[in-house]
Structure 1
Amino acid sequence: MTFSDLGLSQALVKAVEEKGYTKPSPIQEKAIPHILEGKDILASAQTGTGKTAGFTLPVLQYLSETKHPKYRPLRALVLTPTRELAAQVYDNVREYSKYVNIKPAVVFGGVKPASQIATLRRGVDILVATPGRLLDLHAQKAVSFKRVDVLILDEADRMLDMGFVRDINKIISFMPAKRQNLLFSATFSKEIKKLASGILRNPVEVETARQNSTAKKVTHKVFKVDKKKKTEVTVKLIKDNNWNQVLIFTRTKHGANRLTKNLLKAKISAAAIHGNKSQAARTKALKNFKDNSIRILVATDIAARGLDIPLLPHVINYELPNVPEDYVHRIGRTGRAGAAGEAISLVCSEETEYQNEIEKLLKEKLETKIIEGFEPTDTAPPKRAATQSKSSFGKKKKKTNANAQNNSTDNSKKNKPKRKPHFKGKKPANTSGRGRTGAPKKKRF
């Protein structure tokens, strides 16, 4: 089957072929015809299988075949959880739309909004955005959702978790009730599917592999190691195997910075990417890693979602994620588009439960080994893995997902016990200017 057989126009087929694709992937083959028919979609496929083109191409065809109002109101909206993924999706939209009369744009936080506002006011057909910055721009009347015909949630499971569900609800409330909804992700828990039912209308479910599965060509390895020896083991693996491109995941921003510093001390070129870094620093680190200017990229889960790093051979979980679905997204950065890859996890005794939950999700045991000279000795009690909330879409939920944040999918704040204040005499008045609780203002992208 070819892209033309799916019903795509020659202009789109030409743009796709220029990127080196001649045959549609399974997810594209299954999803594109339904999207062209105007149906709602809940699509699940392994990472690196072409999900972005699966929703981008048919939406571009719809936009190009329908009449453009003179002032070009926003008609298609793609929401992503991170700035890096938004930029990547926009690049794909721009490349695929080069031979059709479509104006795409992207907006996200970390940069000044003035240029984004100017672009939106000139008219945009399809917009890729992160929720926080989009709501800020809507509040400034720089963008309207009244003419949106198609809503796409990329990495939909993350978009519907505690970090974003309130913003998604608010954005949807400004849209027409009659619209097409497309939800794409590599993982969908039962709870997330339940939340998705509040958005979708008679959806077609599209799957190309077993739910929450990983690419067949990715080799999984677990090395049992003491927590204090993880850095030493990481350096040994990189140097002994002469690895030149490795993506390493930590659970916290502080941990990413500390590991990067230690790698540099060991004469291994490295950079960190996480939510506390400026957008310019994040962009530079990712670019240097992709073009092999640095050997190691140390990241929080900000880099686990959707980023396409061609032929990335190795992913190391310096720390296992406490949400098992995040393991699937992390290791999905390797073994993309049919290539082989290796996923290594360094697991200390307190992470045993995390490993158990990941194995339950994958329905397979991970190969576990011990490195000679680094036999584990600690016996810390295992930590319990996080679970997804089980409330209905749009309702307030108890926060159970430790990874949920607005700026990225990264969790860096440790739960420290609150100290009781000691006051001599009269308790001072609240001067925070943020109400009785003094709660911090919500971060925007």
Structure 2
Amino acid sequence: MTFKELGLSSAILKAVEEKGYTKPSPIQEKAIPPILEGKDILASAQTGTGKTAGFTLPVLQYLSETKHPKYRPLRALVLTPTRELAAQVYDNVREYSKYVNIKSAVVFGGVNAKPQIATLRSGVDILVATPGRLLDLHDQKAVSFKRIDVLILDEADRMLDMGFVREINKLISFMPAKRQNLMFSATFSKDIKKLAEGILRNPISVEATPQNSTAKKVTHSVFKVDKSRKTEFTIKLIKDNNWNQVLIFTRTKHGANRLTQKLIKSKISAAAIHGNKSQGARTKALKNFKENSIKILVATDIAARGLDIPLLPHVINYELPNVPEDYVHRIGRTGRAGAAGEAISLVCSEEVEYQKEIEKLLNEKLKSTIVEGFEPTDTAPPKRAATQSKGSFGKKKNASNSNSSQGKKPKRKPHFKGNKSNSTSGRGRTGAPKKKRF
């Protein structure tokens, strides 16, 4: 199938062709036609498979075909969990809207709000935003949601999991019941699908790949190593293999900073990216990493979503995540768009339960290796502490896995409310808003 056969306009097709894409990915092929028909979508696809274009292309076409000749109210809103993902989605929106008269913008925290306010007041058709900053701007009356036709929740599971439920509830309460809702994510747990029922109306379920699957061309390796020797082993891997671009994940911000400092002392160029870093520092670190000005980017799970790094060859789990689904998102930074990639995990005795949970999730045994000179001697028991979380939404998690772009952390088991209408079709629903609680 071609993009033209999906029903996209010539203006959108021209932008797609300039990006070098000739054939739609499975998620695009399955999602674009029903979105063009105005139907609600619940879509699940592994990261790196083209989810952003899957909703951006049809929404841009809808906006361009129904645009008012004089007025430019905000009509489409994309909510994302992190600043990095917001910026990435916005870049895609700009590129794909190159030949249509659509104005877009992005807003997120960590930067001066005044330029954002000025942009919004000048008129925007489609906005990409993180929930916290967007709610602040709405409170300042810099933006109105009264004319929203399409609401898109990107990486919805992570957004809710990061503690944005209250903000999303509030934002939705300002929107008309008559709108189309699209929910995209790399993975969806059963709990998240139940929560989706609060905002989606008779959605079409689209699943391009099995839930929690990883890219086929990503190889998985596990090295058993003592906790105290992980840094030494990481440096050995990088130097012995002459690796020039590696994304390393730690569980905590402090751990990311400490590892970065030790890498630099070993004459390996590196930078850290996490929630305590300023937006300027995060943007600079990511830019330098993409341009190969630095070899290593050390990140907490805030970077597991929204970092689009072309042809990234290696991802190292310096520490395994204590939520198995986060392993999928971490290693999803490599092996994107059909490219090969390598996912390496350093596992100490305290993390054996985390490894078992990841293997159960993937339905795959991860091959473990012991390197001569680094034979593990630790006898510490598995550290599956009181944070007994297996990815279910609403259960208490390690705070390091809840680093959001706005500094939000889950405070309680959330209830999601969504305004729903009585209609069973897509756009054009009528009826009074109905709230549903879970």
Normalising by structure 2, report the TM-score. 0.90
Change (3 A) 1:401 1:228: closer
Q: Following the alignment from structure 2 to structure 1, what is the Cα–Cα distance between the partners of residues 259 and 231? A: 7
Match in the other structure for 1:100: 100
Match in the other structure for 2:212: 212
Query: Are the aligned partners of 2:12 and 2:97 in contact in 1 as well (CA < 8 Å)?
Result: yes
Q: Following the alignment from structure 2 to structure 1, what is the Cα–Cα distance between the partners of residues 313 and 362? A: 21
Match in the other structure for 2:31: 31
Q: Write out per-residue CA displacement over residues 90-129 of structure 1, whole angstroms, 9 at most, x where no aligned residue.
A: 0000010010010000000111100000000000000000
Q: Write out per-residue CA displacement over residues 383-408 of structure 1, whole angstroms, 9 at most, x where no aligned residue.
A: 22523456xxxxxx564464224436
Q: How much does 1:141 deviate?
A: 0.2
Asked whether 1:248 is paired with 2:248, we answer yes
Change (3 A) 1:275 1:408: same
Match in the other structure for 2:287: 287
Q: How much does 1:60 deviate?
A: 0.1
Match in the other structure for 1:157: 157
Match in the other structure for 1:407: 405
Query: Are the aligned partners of 1:31 and 1:54 in contact in 2 as well (CA < 8 Å)?
Result: yes
Q: Following the alignment from structure 2 to structure 1, what is the Cα–Cα distance between the partners of residues 271 and 408? A: 17
Match in the other structure for 1:275: 275
Query: Are the aligned partners of 2:263 and 2:269 in contact in 1 as well (CA < 8 Å)?
Result: yes
The secondary structure found in structure 2 opposite 1:272 is strand
Match in the other structure for 1:414: none
Q: How much does 1:68 deviate?
A: 1.8
The unaligned stretches of length 5 or more in structure 1 are 391-396, 412-445
Q: Write out per-residue CA displacement over residues 239-298 of structure 1, whole angstroms, 9 at most, x where no aligned residue.
A: 000000000000111100000000001110101111111111111100110011110000
Change (3 A) 1:406 1:291: closer
Match in the other structure for 1:375: 375
Please show how residues 66-145 of structure 1 align to structure 2 within 5 Å.
66-68=66-68, 70-145=70-145
Moved more, 134-143 or 374-383: 374-383
Query: Are the aligned partners of 2:81 and 2:162 in contact in 1 as well (CA < 8 Å)?
Result: no
Match in the other structure for 1:60: 60
Change (3 A) 1:183 1:401: farther
Query: Are the aligned partners of 2:148 and 2:175 in contact in 1 as well (CA < 8 Å)?
Result: yes
Of residues 386, 390, 394, the one that matches 1:387 is: 390
Change (3 A) 1:48 1:398: closer
- State the one-letter code of the partner of 1:407: S
Please show how residues 306-325 of structure 1 align to structure 2 within 5 Å.
306-325=306-325
Match in the other structure for 1:421: none
Q: Following the alignment from structure 1 to structure 2, what is the Cα–Cα distance between the partners of residues 223 and 410? A: 34
The secondary structure found in structure 2 opposite 1:152 is strand
Q: Following the alignment from structure 1 to structure 2, what is the Cα–Cα distance between the partners of residues 319 and 222? A: 11
Q: Following the alignment from structure 2 to structure 1, what is the Cα–Cα distance between the partners of residues 34 and 284? A: 38
Q: How much does 1:163 deviate?
A: 1.4
Q: Following the alignment from structure 1 to structure 2, what is the Cα–Cα distance between the partners of residues 44 and 151? A: 17
The secondary structure found in structure 1 opposite 2:293 is coil
Change (3 A) 1:187 1:389: closer
Q: Following the alignment from structure 1 to structure 2, what is the Cα–Cα distance between the partners of residues 95 and 407? A: 24
Match in the other structure for 1:365: 365
The secondary structure found in structure 1 opposite 2:135 is helix
Match in the other structure for 2:221: 221
RMSD of Structure 2 on Structure 1 (CA) = 1.4
Moved more, 213-222 or 155-164: 155-164
- State the one-letter code of the partner of 2:151: L
Query: Are the aligned partners of 2:131 and 2:168 in contact in 1 as well (CA < 8 Å)?
Result: yes
Q: Following the alignment from structure 1 to structure 2, what is the Cα–Cα distance between the partners of residues 82 and 128? A: 11
Q: Following the alignment from structure 1 to structure 2, what is the Cα–Cα distance between the partners of residues 225 and 90? A: 41
- State the one-letter code of the partner of 1:61: Q
Q: Following the alignment from structure 2 to structure 1, what is the Cα–Cα distance between the partners of residues 288 and 397? A: 35
Q: Following the alignment from structure 2 to structure 1, what is the Cα–Cα distance between the partners of residues 355 and 83? A: 29
Q: How much does 1:67 deviate?
A: 3.0
- State the one-letter code of the partner of 2:332: G
The secondary structure found in structure 2 opposite 1:329 is helix
Q: Write out per-residue CA displacement over residues 25-50 of structure 1, whole angstroms, 9 at most, x where no aligned residue.
A: 11100000010011111111111111
Q: Following the alignment from structure 2 to structure 1, what is the Cα–Cα distance between the partners of residues 406 and 49? A: 23
The secondary structure found in structure 1 opposite 2:161 is coil
Change (3 A) 1:236 1:162: closer
Asked whether 1:11 is paired with 2:14, we answer no
Moved more, 123-132 or 355-364: 355-364
Change (3 A) 1:342 1:198: same
Q: Write out per-residue CA displacement over residues 188-224 of structure 1, whole angstroms, 9 at most, x where no aligned residue.
A: 1111111111111001111111111000100001111
Q: Following the alignment from structure 1 to structure 2, what is the Cα–Cα distance between the partners of residues 307 and 218? A: 17
The secondary structure found in structure 2 opposite 1:160 is helix
Q: How much does 1:177 deviate?
A: 1.1
Change (3 A) 1:132 1:298: same
The secondary structure found in structure 2 opposite 1:243 is coil
Q: Following the alignment from structure 1 to structure 2, what is the Cα–Cα distance between the partners of residues 148 and 323? A: 35
Q: Following the alignment from structure 1 to structure 2, what is the Cα–Cα distance between the partners of residues 131 and 99? A: 29
Q: % of aligned pairs identical?
A: 86
The unaligned stretches of length 5 or more in structure 2 are 410-438
Asked whether 1:265 is paired with 2:265, we answer yes
Q: Following the alignment from structure 1 to structure 2, what is the Cα–Cα distance between the partners of residues 398 and 235? A: 35
Q: How much does 1:306 deviate?
A: 2.6
Query: Are the aligned partners of 2:151 and 2:181 in contact in 1 as well (CA < 8 Å)?
Result: yes
Match in the other structure for 2:434: none
